Amino acid sequence: MTTSAELIGRARDLLPAIQARAAETETLRRPHDDNMRDLIDAGLIQMLVPKRWGGAESDLKTMYEVVDTIAQGCISTAWIAAFYIGHNLYAAKLHPTAQDELFGARGFVMMPAATAPTMKAEPVEGGWKISGRAPWGSGIMHADWVMVSGMTPEKKPRSFIMPVSSVTVDDVWHFTGMAGTGSNDIIVDDVFVPHHMSLDGVDLRNGRTEGSVIHANPIYSVPLVPMAFATIVPVLTGGLKGALKSFENIVDRRVRNFSGTVVKDQQHTHIVLGEMQTGTQAIDILGRAHIARTEALIQTGFEMSDRIALKGSAGYLANAGRQVIQNMMANAGSSNYHHDQPLQRYWRDLSTVTSHAFWDWDISREQVGRHHFGLAPNHPIV
């Protein structure tokens, strides 16, 4: 069985190639085929698949190290890798018959998971007829299966799994940041989904399902939103580390125009660099603590106070990370806005990542404050 050390080592071995392809990945507006092939060959996409299907059945701490490492080279690639890795947990929540179908082919899935209930779901004999559009389809460009979500006629949320061949991809992903993710819209037109290939949305959010209970490992009963936070956090921490390395390279060699001042000889540079290094290290420490807390709660269960605390933690990490990357860019010099310079890509990608709805800072801190006063959450992503 593949160990955590082996998985982390393989990610580190792939880092130089992933970083070398970062600019091309952005130009392609989709994950680089070679990156996806390398991640599969290294067993990284499969790392959270249950052992019964040949997966490593690893843990969140290992996933953190793997995704963090990939993000140091290319944030877009890390985003998609993190989704593919984490969404194998969602596949393991399906009815056992569905798990046979999904994992039986090659032992893992590459599945975007659109959880916003944008689809029309009509009950029919044996299952559902699904139609609609799902935006933000991260993972659709190399997918084999697709998860979309909708509201049933009873106004209950439900998710539906279908082969990628059943959907149409609308090429709308023209974004300044995270351009290489290819997170295009998913269009579904009157597709039949058998009942066993769907999940009750409440069960998915709570974590425990009829499919998850066949696995002894409690990680397969992790609730949706805490798992989503655990998926996203290492993209931020690793991206900041990659940006910091680029920033360090800049200040090591930069000479100011007109004055000819060597930047690394200035006290101000020492102060700014120290701030960027300390900020990046602090966010990494907080990220690791976030993952450790999530893993502990997987063993004991998630109370509402835990969910709100994790949302606050994720929001704080995003807000702090946004400030650090903005400061790096502000102190790097205007030449680093050129498309050939890596720092501007980290800056654009991280600016986009930290705007994600799941860890919106205003909403996150509001939920923490409301909880203090005994008020119920007033936002669905908790």
Q: Are 71 and 354 in contact (CB under 8 A)?
A: no
Please check whether residue 325 lies inside any domain of the structure: yes
End-to-end CA distance of the chain: 35
In this structure, the answer to whether residues 100 and 162 fall within a common structural domain is: no
Sorted by sequence, the CB contacts under 8 Å of residue 260 that are 6+ apart come out as none
pTM of the model: 0.96
Please check whether residue 352 lies inside any domain of the structure: yes
Q: Which of 184, 199, 214 marks a domain boundary?
A: 199
The Cα–Cα gap between 151 and 201 comes to: 9
Please check whether residue 208 lies inside any domain of the structure: no
Q: Which of 69, 104, 139 marks a domain boundary?
A: 104
- Per-residue pLDDT, 257: 60
CATH number at residue 122: 2.40.110.10
CATH number at residue 85: 1.10.540.10
pLDDT along the chain (382 residues), means of 10: 95 98 98 98 98 96 98 98 98 98 96 97 98 98 98 97 98 98 98 98 97 97 98 98 95 72 82 95 98 98 98 98 97 90 97 95 98 97 95
The Cα–Cα gap between 127 and 162 comes to: 12
- Per-residue pLDDT, 319: 98
In this structure, the answer to whether residues 178 and 98 fall within a common structural domain is: no
- Per-residue pLDDT, 329: 96
CATH number at residue 270: 1.20.140.10
By three-state DSSP, how is residue 335 classified? helix
Please check whether residue 379 lies inside any domain of the structure: no
Domain that holds residue 20: 4-104
In this structure, the answer to whether residues 71 and 128 fall within a common structural domain is: no
